[in-house]
A and B are shown apart, each in its own frame.
Chain A
Amino acid sequence: MAKVPRNFRLLEELEKGEKGIGDGTISYGLADGDDLMMSNWNGTIIGPGHTVHENRIYSLKITCGNDYPDRAPTVSFLSKVNLPAVNQKTGKVERLACLDSWKRSYTIETVLAELRREMANPSNKKLSQPAEGTFF
């Protein structure tokens, strides 16, 4: 199967992000629309219902290196969040299955969706959270 080059891949993702995915519980787009390298992305996750995250909007920063999608992007929370996957000092996502065993077919959407599932995970959904609107 032919490998889709980095920039085509990111363009596809950009288009999908702007059209909106599913019910909008996750969203992403380029941090700077003029960034030709498409390296820096913003993402948001709307906290899943019936958890402490309900109705919260979490902002994230996603950086796709030059070797994306062969290598995983680096993902950091901008909004403070208490999750085992997230470094509580820097907001960096450090222990997430899809990042740790990255596959070329994974996308930014994959990462955000998995993070959202983490929030809804029964072992995480009652974790006490920092005040909304605070940032790392």
Chain B
Amino acid sequence: MALPQLPSAIPTAQHQPARRSHILSMPEISIKIKQANETALSITIDTDETVLALKQKINTAANVEPSQQRLIFAGKVLKDEDKLSVYKMADGNTVHMVKGSAPRATSSASTPAAPSSAAPTNLFEAAAAASGGGAGANPFAAFGGGGAAANPFAALGGMGGMGGMGGMGGMGGMGGMGGMDPNMLNSLMSNPAIGASIAQMMSNPQIIEQLAASNPQLAGMMNQPQVREMLGSDGFRQMLADPNMMRSMMAMQAAMMGGAGGAGAGNPMAAMFGGLAPGSTAPTAAREGAAASPNAAAANPMAAMFGGLAPGSTAPAGGMFNPAMMQQMLGMMGGAPGAPAAPADTRPPEERFATQLGQLVEMGFFDASENVRALTLTGGNVEAAVEWLFAHPPGGGR
């Protein structure tokens, strides 16, 4: 059987487990890893570790890529994200390993090339054009939404708007989607100029002050030391400036949307950008993001957090905003600056978007590879994928 490699971009997951061994709370166990026709491998590992961590240890010892390992213990196939304790693994137990046979991926699915990536070469210019004037005393407003001149964070809102422009490229820039085209955002965030200006912005206390002053609700929040600390912290700044971070957040978003049944409402990025930029082009998205089902929001601290920052948002998000969580976030970011918040989803798109694919088929889109392509491009947003599919009929000009 041909074994196509899984996408090997797992930079995120590898950083995480290692640090925990210092805490020394859970017992270490020694287990055997058996593989057909090969001598057993002995591995010592903490039961608090995940299956993925075990796979990485096996990789170190036996040089088998984690994506190529399938582990079986006591009649169960182990899942990467579960902790070993879930399976009640104990000292001296044996885990069986089967190599290979990663889920199949069709070739067409692995081309996340953005058809809409005719992105304006000069993002600043384009954004300025989008804002339709309104650039006031504040230089950042240059790429903010119209009329947001007094608010430096309009810069961020402007990015939401940019996403919307990407939407015109065929990604279905619908209101509900908040114009968040993942690819667009990615390319935007990869732009060093933008990253730099955000970093500059966030590191400037005056701007933070200005932001606080311009918005009573934020001002209230600003009085909470944790929040202030967070905004000023390196981790947060780095997060905003780091394209990888953004990308992993997008991945997280995609995962979440999958979980929430593709409800467009649970778009944490929309909440973040829309929310930080009152009066910008994405206020609807902000509200929608903030009012996302509690379920979705709870699953994603980011969503709640940024929803909480959204001045235009209503009670639900505000209620979810919670200093303890914030501190936790802060701890996370401080502990591992630049480390993405969630492991990137490395499953192939078919698997990741299984729910959405099902929905597309129900809607009458039968071209599986096109469906996967559309979902990949839209980060799993079914509605946007439909738009894209309409805009790109199979065999049509693309």
Contact = CB atoms under 8 A, between A and B. Distances in A.
B15 interface: no
A44 B95 CA distance: 12
Interface stretch (B28-36, B168-176, B186-194, B302-310): B28-36
B75 interface: yes
B70 interface: yes
Contacts of A31: 75
A130 to B, nearest CB: 14
Nearest to B97: A24
Interface string A1-36: 000000000000000011110011101111101000
Sort chain B's interface into a size bin: 20 to 34
Given A24-B35, A27-B74, A18 B94 contact: yes
B231 interface: no
Contacts of B70: 57
A42 B74 contact: yes
Interface string B89-119: 0101111111011010000000000000000
Contacts of A59: 75-77
Contacts of A20: 32, 34, 93-96
B307 to A, nearest CB: 36
A77 interface: no
Contacts of A56: 101
A54 B100 CA distance: 11
Sort chain A's interface into a size bin: 20 to 34
Contacts of A19: 92-94
A43 B96 CA distance: 13
Contact of A25 (B36, B76, B88, B94): B36
Contact of B93 (A18, A57, A132, A133): A18
Interface string B66-86: 000010111111000000000
B72 A46 contact: yes
Given A20-B93, A20-B96, A55-B101, A44 B76 contact: yes
A108 to B, nearest CB: 9
B137 interface: no
B52 to A, nearest CB: 18
Contacts of A54: 1
A29 B76 contact: yes
Nearest to B1: A55
Interface string A88-121: 0000000000000000000000000000000000
A44 B37 contact: no
Contacts of A42: 74-76
B34 A24 contact: yes
A67 to B, nearest CB: 22
B72 A17 contact: no
A33 B88 contact: yes
A30 B74 contact: yes
A27 B72 contact: yes
B80 to A, nearest CB: 15
B1 A44 contact: no
B72 to A, nearest CB: 5
A81 to B, nearest CB: 15
A18 B76 CA distance: 11
Contact of A23 (B36, B88, B90, B103): B36
B97 to A, nearest CB: 8
Contacts of B1: 54-55
B101 A44 contact: no
Q: Choose among B32, B34, B37, B92 the residue with the greatest number of A CB atoms under 10 Å from its CB.
A: B34
B72 A57 contact: yes
Contacts of A23: 34, 36-37
Contacts of B92: 19
A24 B36 contact: yes
A26 B100 CA distance: 17
Given A46-B96, A55-B101, A18 B74 contact: yes
16 contacts: A18-B90, A18-B94, A20-B34, A23-B37, A24-B72, A25-B36, A28-B75, A29-B75, A42-B76, A43-B75, A44-B75, A44-B76, A44-B77, A57-B72, A57-B98, A132-B101
Given A29-B75, A42-B75, A59-B76, 17 more contacts: A19-B94, A20-B96, A23-B36, A24-B96, A24-B97, A25-B36, A27-B73, A28-B74, A29-B76, A41-B75, A43-B75, A44-B75, A54-B1, A55-B1, A56-B101, A57-B70, A57-B72
Closest 6 CB pairs of A and B: A29-B74, A20-B94, A24-B96, A42-B75, A28-B75, A33-B88
Interface of B: 1, 32, 34-37, 70, 72-77, 88, 90, 92-98, 100-101, 103
